[in-house]
Amino acid sequence: MVIKSGRILTVMLFARDQTTQKNSNAQTQQTMKIKLFFINMLLLLCGIVDAQAKTQIIAHRGHWDKRSSPENSLSSLENAIKTGAYGSELDVRMSSDGVLVLNHDEKYKGVFIEKATYKEISKLRLANGEPLPTLQQCADIVKKQKKTKLIIEIKPHSSAEKDRRTAGEIVKLVNKNNIADLVDYISFSWHACKELIKLNPGHRVSYLRGDKPPKQLKAEGLWGMAYSWKELKEKHPEWLKEAKALGLVVNVWTVNDAKIMRYFIGQKVDFITTDKPLVLKELLKK
């Protein structure tokens, strides 16, 4: 009886060991599956972060490297969208009667934009025959898609008050058209930048003039630093790392030389503003 009981006990212990081993193997496999899941998620997140960190293209005054598409024209905006650029930069001024129009300089063909009515401005023609576009016309184009943003540069006007008023009118138009997610703002006017942040701290605002360090921009609530390539390559290269450390986005303008493009791609800046978006697009493929 003792021997038989011993055999039974041995069999029972063996069976228990087998069951324990199977359970252990099952737990190990489950643990491995969980680990693999988290590893894959981590790799996916790394890929997303890497994609987000890649330098993106801003077409300076649109993609106007064509005779039929002058800078700051509706056709140059449409071309920028076709190239797949992150954004199409455009220069906005306000007429004497409050209409927001596109033009880089204070005057166009002798007409002082700020002091002219829109009726007077509407008679002017670009090289391709287009009238000077309004910001509303640009909004009508950009809201038909969801990829390319308007990079609205608010040009300095004759006074701080007019800068602030222009910023306010632009925000009204953007909100009326429900395109806030398709608009970033830039300006040489500190007054315009501050007004944009006052109206909505969530506005994506970058300062252009290059006379303020990243620490000050961050403290004042700006989203980014948009300085010239000479400022960030020759004068204050240390500002690139400082801006990144503070969480500011970095936009470098206006870069048309391939060698300088490569330099800033290597620096992992967020945006390069260029008159040559197709050249930059090819470099970013490499």
The enclosing H or E element of 93 equals: strand 87-94
Considering the domain architecture, whether residues 147 and 249 belong to the same structural domain is answered as: yes
The domain boundary residue, chosen from 34, 53, 72: 53
pLDDT tops 70 at residue 2: no
237: domain CATH number? 3.20.20.190
Nearest to 88 by CA among 101, 96, 79: 79
Considering the domain architecture, whether residues 136 and 31 belong to the same structural domain is answered as: no
Which is higher by pLDDT, 240 or 37? 240
Across the range 111-121, mean pLDDT stands at: 98
pLDDT tops 80 at residue 10: no
pLDDT at res. 132: 97
Considering the domain architecture, whether residues 29 and 114 belong to the same structural domain is answered as: no
Considering the domain architecture, whether residues 129 and 212 belong to the same structural domain is answered as: yes
pLDDT at res. 154: 98
Ramachandran angles phi, psi of 260, nearest 5°: -70, -35
pLDDT band at 21 (very low <50, low <70, confident <90, very high): low
Considering the domain architecture, whether residues 157 and 20 belong to the same structural domain is answered as: no
pLDDT at res. 68: 87
Considering the domain architecture, whether residues 40 and 106 belong to the same structural domain is answered as: no
Considering the domain architecture, whether residues 164 and 184 belong to the same structural domain is answered as: yes
**What is the average pLDDT score of the chain?**
88
Across the range 14-25, mean pLDDT stands at: 52
Considering the domain architecture, whether residues 33 and 89 belong to the same structural domain is answered as: no
Across the range 185-210, mean pLDDT stands at: 98
Considering the domain architecture, whether residues 7 and 146 belong to the same structural domain is answered as: no
The domain of 79 spans 55-285
Considering the domain architecture, whether residues 12 and 90 belong to the same structural domain is answered as: no
Considering the domain architecture, whether residues 60 and 47 belong to the same structural domain is answered as: no
Q: Determine the Cα–Cα distance for residues 164 and 112; give it in Å rounded to an integer.
A: 19
Q: Based on the structure, what is the number of domains in the chain? A: 2
Is-contact 191 169, C-beta < 8 A? no
Considering the domain architecture, whether residues 42 and 78 belong to the same structural domain is answered as: no
The 10s digit of each residue's pLDDT in 82-107 is 999 999 999 999 999 999 999 999 99
Q: 18: how many CB neighbours lie within 10 A of its CB?
A: 10
pLDDT tops 80 at residue 49: no
